Amino acid sequence: MDLETLCGKMEETVRRAGAYVRTAVPQAIDEKSGHSDLVTEYDVQTQRMLMEELSALYPEAEFMGEEEHLQADVTVGDCFVIDPIDGTANFVAGYNRSAVSVALLRDGQPVLGMVYHPWAEEFFSAIKGKGAFLNGRKLTLSDRPLADSLVGFGSCPYYRDLAQRTTRILGAVLDVAPDIRRMGSAALDLCDIAAGRTGAFFELKLSPWDYAAAGLIAQEAGAKVFDLQGEPLGFSNPSPVVAGAPSAAEELRTLINKTK
C-alpha cells in the first residue's frame, strides 16, 4: 500500500481513537514509575484499538507503543509508533490538551505521522517529502530568531534528576525570548511549531512515541528537529529534543549546551 493511501485510511482510525478519548471519563488510574507517570484504562484501551485497526490495514508492520511494554526493533522494516494519549496528566486533570499520536517508521526513519487533538478538532499530518498539514491546510514556517519566539518546553516529569537543569535553562531562555510555555503534551508542542504558534521547543529527555509523529510534522513544515549535538533523533531510546524554526532552533540548542 502506498503512503498516500495508507495515510487516508489511518486518518479514519486515528480520528476514531480521538473520539473515544474525548468522550471518556477517567476512572482507573495507575502509576507506572511514579506519581508523575500516570496511565489510565483509556490509554491502554486506545492503544489496543489502534493496534487492532492498524494491523488490519497494514499487517506487515510491527508496533512500538507507550503502554503495556510494547517494544519492537524499529531499525528494520516498518513499525507503527503509538502514543494513545500524549498528555495523560492533562487528560486525568480534565485539562483538555492531549493528543493521539501515530507514526510509521521505515527502517528507523519516520515516513508518516499523525497527531490528533480531539478537543480542538485539529488533525496534523505529514508524509515525508510531501509537506505538513493541519485539517488539510498546508503548513509552512517562516524563519525567525529566538528573540522573536515563544518557546515551549517540557519539564521532564519522569526524570527528576533533570529538573534543576531544566530550570536553569528556562532562566537563560527568558533572557533572550519573549516568554515560555509549558502545556503538557510534547506532540502538540511540536505541532505548535509547525503551525507557527511557537518558535522553538525543548525537553531534555523524551521517549520516541512522544516525538516520532510530531517531529516529522514539524520538519515537513520547515522546522529543524535534532538532539543536543545537532544530530537527527533516534527512535530506539529516549533522547533530548530541540526543535524550532531554523534560526531559533540552533540558537536554543547552543544556549542549552552552555547551560549546565
Mean pLDDT of the 180-191 span: 97
3-state helix, strand, coil in the chain (%, to 5): 40, 30, 35
132 and 18 in a common domain: yes
**pLDDT tens per residue across span 196-251:** 999 999 999 999 999 999 999 999 999 999 999 999 999 999 999 999 999 999 99
245 and 176 in a common domain: yes
**pLDDT tens per residue across span 190-200:** 999 999 999 99
CATH code assigned at 91:
3.30.540.10
**pLDDT tens per residue across span 55-76:** 999 999 999 987 766 777 888 8
102 and 216 in a common domain: no
What does the DSSP assignment read for 110-147? Answer: EEEEEEEETTTTEEEEEETTTEEEETTEEE-PPP--GG
What local confidence, expressed as pLDDT, does residue 35 receive? 40
CATH code assigned at 193:
3.40.190.80
CA 20/CA 28 separation, integer angstroms: 16
C-alpha cell at 48: 489496543
154 and 134 in a common domain: no
**CB distance 218 to 133 below 8 Å:** no
**pLDDT tens per residue across span 134-167:** 999 999 999 999 999 999 999 998 888 999 999 9
Q: What is the DSSP letter of 162?
A: G
**CB distance 214 to 186 below 8 Å:** yes
pLDDT band at 88 (very low <50, low <70, confident <90, very high): confident
131 and 12 in a common domain: yes
CA 121/CA 123 separation, integer angstroms: 6
Domain span holding position 173: 146-258
How far from the centroid of its chain's Cα atoms is residue 36's Cα?
18
pLDDT band at 6 (very low <50, low <70, confident <90, very high): very high
Give the burial string for 76-97 (b: 16+ CB within 10 Å, else e).
Answer: eebbbbbbbbbbbbbbbeeeeb
Mean pLDDT of the 118-134 span: 97
CA end-to-end span of the chain: 47
What is the value of pTM for the model shown? 0.93
**CB distance 74 to 107 below 8 Å:** no
Q: How far lies 41's CA from each of 20, 34, 45, 91, 153, in Å?
A: 12, 17, 6, 12, 27
7 and 97 in a common domain: yes
Count of domains in the chain? 2
C-alpha cell at 132: 505538513
Closest-CA residue to 226 (of 209, 203, 198): 203
